[in-house]
Amino acid sequence: TKMLNRRVTYKRRSSYRTRTNKFRTVKTPGGKLAVRYLKRGAKGVVCNELGYAKSIAGVPHLKPNGMHKLDKSKRSVSRAYGGSMSHKAVKERIVRAFLIEEVKLIKRMVSQKEKSKSSKKNKGKKAASKKK
């Protein structure tokens, strides 16, 4: 990709060494040096959860056209939120949901204890008022 080799020239319109104008010099069977243009690589599928802007492991880095040609099983990973979220994001969601449920349970238990205490106090007061 270096332009140090002055024996080859660009074939296309752009005569600058830009991101899209990368090439590799190739020796043809006739012995000439030719330019072979390289395609830009795709970024790949990225996790859509905030804070996890990384590509998803197990999904190939292809452009949409290449993804469309793949089998459906190769486009994603076989788990919940397989093709759209990373494993860390899914794990965090599961843990968060579990903790929220735990908090709800604890709150329910505390409220039941408070109700039972208040009912015991009321019963004690009623019994004391009957004795007088």
C-alpha distances out from residue 131 to 10, 118, 119, 125, 127, Å? 108, 20, 19, 10, 6
> Per-residue pLDDT tens for 49-107?
877 788 888 999 999 999 999 999 999 899 998 888 988 899 999 999 999 999 999 99
Burial class for 11, CB neighbours closer than 10 Å (0-12, 13-18, 19+): exposed
Higher pLDDT among residues 120 and 105, named by residue: 105
129 pLDDT more than 80: no
Identify the pLDDT of residue 1. Answer: 47
Position 60 scores a pLDDT of 93
Over residues 22-36, mean pLDDT? 90
Per residue in 32-52, pLDDT (tens digit) is 888 999 988 888 888 888 777
User: Would you state the pLDDT for residue 19?
Assistant: 85
Could you give the CA distance from residue 82 to residue 90 in angstroms, rounded to a whole number? 9
Cβ-contact 64, 72 below 8 angstroms: no
Q: Is the pLDDT of residue 126 over 70?
A: no
Which residues neighbour 4 within 8 Å (Cβ) at sequence distance 6 or greater? none
Find out whether 65 and 71 touch, Cβ atoms under 8 Å. no
For 39-78, letters b (16+ CB in 10 Å) and e give eeeeeebebebeebeeebeebeebeeeebeeeeeeebbbe
Task: Provide the pLDDT for residue 127.
Answer: 61
Q: Higher pLDDT residue, 16 or 4? A: 16
Q: How far apart are CA 43 and CA 56, in angstroms?
A: 11
Name 14's bridge partners: none
